[in-house]
Amino acid sequence: MPPITRFLCASVLAFASPLAWANDADTQARHQWHEAIANGYQAFSAKTTKLTGAAREYCNAPATDSWNRLEAAWLEAFLAWQRVRFVDFGPVENNNLSWQFQFWPDPKNLIARKAAYLIGSNEPITPEVISQSGVAVQGFPMVEYLLFDQQLNAGEHALPAARSCELLTNVALHAEKNSDELTAGWRAFSPHYLETDQYRDTTMRAGMAALEILEERRLAQPMGLRGNGKRNPYITDAWRSGKSLMAIEATVDGLQTMFLPGLVTLLEAGEKSDLADRIGKQFIDVQQNFPGAHMPMITALNEEDPFRVLQSLYVDISQLTTLVNDQAAVALGVVRGFNSSDGD
């Protein structure tokens, strides 16, 4: 081969190879993300099925043991949702599924008002009624209300009252059907997701938005670091059950399990292994805070020693958000977009 030809071929390869490597990494990352999310949805579907069974068991035969199983089944299903909650695109956008699973924030206490209306009505509470009653009725916060609301549980409509059981079992069934629909929808979505380059950035932005919501909406605002400066546990999700911090932990766990591996693939392909390592270590640092943070948010906000644990958690999540949303996003050329899931 003449020298000039060899030079031209080498030049073409020099410019083409990084692009090819990037494309390979993008494809690999999307496969990693897709499989991990599919597994997360499948686990979520299984937990909602278990919740429906536990609700029926308790309402058919109320007892301490069946009540404990019902509480545990609600928590397992709710936390399974928190792990996949960061996915704000694809089938979960259909029919406002994410809002149906979790209506939050609820500043007007619509959940309690809707529950009072349905329980106080003379009309049967059927699956059709739940489908037509709006997102404040249809998901985990309504089940949480029925299980944990102090005012409800002090009155005549406390479980296992017949009307409350009707509402409980049909809301659980609605969530089960929606989770099955979501799982099947993600499988059908597979070819489009895997073959469409834009879903690299879409998935990145989903993880970034989830971290922003964790930092700003689920921690900073209740801690009084934003807004009026007052601590307020009642604007957190899952405040009635005292599981707000466990829910945050599950979201972090979902990001670590389902989002981080694809991100690492992209960063390593872009010769940013050091940044990938720092992000991985920061996830571990965040998780190490949670054994001390398994407490109701009202305790964490009202007592100084627990509040210091919460502050440490907030700092670590803020640092993680900076690493992913600023440094990794810039390194990968991902432009932060409108967060369609803000407030879920």
Spans of all domains in the chain: 25-197, 198-344
Q: What is the pLDDT of residue 338?
A: 58
Q: What is the pLDDT of residue 23?
A: 74
pLDDT over 90 at 31, yes or no: yes
CA distances from 155 to 40, 62, 142, 220, 330 (A): 38, 17, 17, 34, 55
Q: Residue 8's pLDDT band (boundaries 50, 70, 90)?
A: very low
Mean pLDDT of the chain: 92
**CATH superfamily entry for domain 25-197:** M75 peptidase, HXXE motif (1.20.1420.20)
Strand (E) or helix (H) holding 309: helix 304-321
Q: What is the pLDDT of residue 227?
A: 87
Range from 10-14, 65-69, 129-133, 173-177 carrying the lowest mean pLDDT: 10-14
Collect contacts of 45-49 with beta carbons under 8 A, ≥24 apart: 45/176, 45/179, 45/180, 45/182, 45/183, 46/80, 47/73, 47/76, 47/77, 47/80, 48/77, 48/80, 48/172, 48/175, 48/176, 48/178, 48/179, 48/180, 49/176, 49/179
Report pLDDT digits (tens) over 227-282. 889 999 999 999 999 999 999 999 999 999 999 999 999 999 999 999 999 999 99
Picking from 288, 279, 297, the residue whose alpha carbon sits closest to that of residue 235 is 297
Q: What is the pLDDT of residue 291?
A: 81
CA distances from 297 to 53, 56, 93, 133, 141 (A): 29, 30, 29, 29, 16
Percent with pLDDT over 90 in the chain: 88
pTM for the full predicted model: 0.92
Q: What is the pLDDT of residue 336?
A: 81
Q: Which DSSP string do the residues of 44-89 spell out, in sequence order?
A: HHHHHHHHHHHHHHHHHS--HHHHHHHHHHHHHHHHHHHHHTT--S
Percent with pLDDT over 70 in the chain: 91
Report pLDDT digits (tens) over 324-337. 999 999 999 999 86
Q: What is the pLDDT of residue 10?
A: 41
CA 114 to CA 116: how far, in whole Å?
A: 5
pLDDT over 50 at 44, yes or no: yes
pLDDT over 60 at 339, yes or no: no
Report pLDDT digits (tens) over 49-102. 999 999 999 999 999 999 999 999 999 999 999 999 999 999 999 999 999 999
Mean pLDDT across the stretch 271-298?
94
Q: What is the pLDDT of residue 292?
A: 81
